[in-house]
Amino acid sequence: MISLLKEATILSKGVYLQMVVNLKFLDDAIIRSNEPEEVLTFSYAKLGNRFIIPWRKVKGKLRRVVMEKQRGLGIEPNCHLKDDLCMRCPSCFLFGGTGETSSAKVPYNILARVLGETFISKEPVGEIQPYTANAIDEQTLSTGRGETGALFTLTKVPAETEFLGVITLKDPTSEIASILIDNIRRLSRLGARSVEWGRVKSEILGYRLSDREDISVYGLVSGENSELQKIDSLTLPEVDASYRKLDEQVKKLIESLG
């Protein structure tokens, strides 16, 4: 029987808390993409055309929500993305950081404990009509920087579109699980920089504790059955207390490195 860990650890214990998450768009979203890795639709051989949300977009938003929350609790309020990570707070411990490039200039890196993969829309997309435009108009409206003639595409994702994703917590303690579950539930908006992304509703459909990552989004969307347990069946400590306790543990762990 695999259970949550008692203490936060530096070295992996090989325990994975996998949570299946349903994200529903409440508004029509117009998504602008101008980088190849920002492709927001994908044609799968078996699933057909689907809307997708790259994991780093979800991860970035989750991290911001955790940082806001811990700032509200007075924990490392000066920890900021991207170059001002403190490398010693719950947020850095969960989402990772590179010591050398942080302003903290510490000789260690932190590997992310929150892992995920691309979110995929539950239903195929009938027709995707990306609108490709020249970015020149936008440049004159903003700072005037940027490359002349850069192309971007606009894709509309209709309200009510639902996505499935799997968010995995590596080496979870009950405090870390409490923080992340609260975090996922408070995810109410996607896209920090681009206002085009709208309101979302997130719901954790269930979880599985395992010694490996054995649930995939592709499998779920394809209709594979995964045995999941109800998230409320986990007995977890209160969120604010969890941030404070994890903060203490992280600082002790980091001292032990020195």
Nearer to Zn ion, 171 or 247 (CB): 247
| The pairing of beta strand 119-121 with beta strand 162-170 | antiparallel
Nearer to Zn ion, 87 or 181 (CB): 87
Rounded to a whole number of angstroms, the minimum distance from the CB of residue 237 to Zn ion is 21
Rounded to a whole number of angstroms, the minimum distance from the CB of residue 81 to Zn ion is 9
| The pairing of beta strand 151-157 with beta strand 131-134 | antiparallel
| H/E segment holding residue 34 | none
Nearer to Zn ion, 91 or 249 (CB): 91
Nearer to Zn ion, 86 or 254 (CB): 86
Three-state SS annotation for 55-108:
HHHHHHHHHHHHHHHHHHCCCCCCCECCCECCCCCHHHHHHCEECCCCCCCCCC
Cα–Cα distance between 247 and 174 in angstroms, integer? 14
| H/E segment holding residue 52 | strand 48-53
Count of residues touching Zn ion (by CB under 5 A): 5
Cα–Cα distance between 63 and 95 in angstroms, integer? 7
Letters for 81-100 (x = contact with Zn ion by CB under 5 A, - = none) are -----x--x-xx--------
CB 174 within 8 A of CB 182: no
Rounded to a whole number of angstroms, the minimum distance from the CB of residue 238 to Zn ion is 22
In the block, residue with structure tokens 């002790």 = 252
Nearer to Zn ion, 79 or 114 (CB): 79
Tell me which residues in 27-86 interact with Zn ion (CB under 5 A).
79, 86
Rounded to a whole number of angstroms, the minimum distance from the CB of residue 150 to Zn ion is 33
Position 187 contacts Zn ion (CB under 5 A): no
Nearer to Zn ion, 169 or 204 (CB): 169
Q: Which of 152, 110, 146 is nearest to 132 (CA)?
A: 152
Rounded to a whole number of angstroms, the minimum distance from the CB of residue 14 to Zn ion is 25
- Binding site residues, Zn ion, CB under 5 A: 79, 86, 89, 91-92
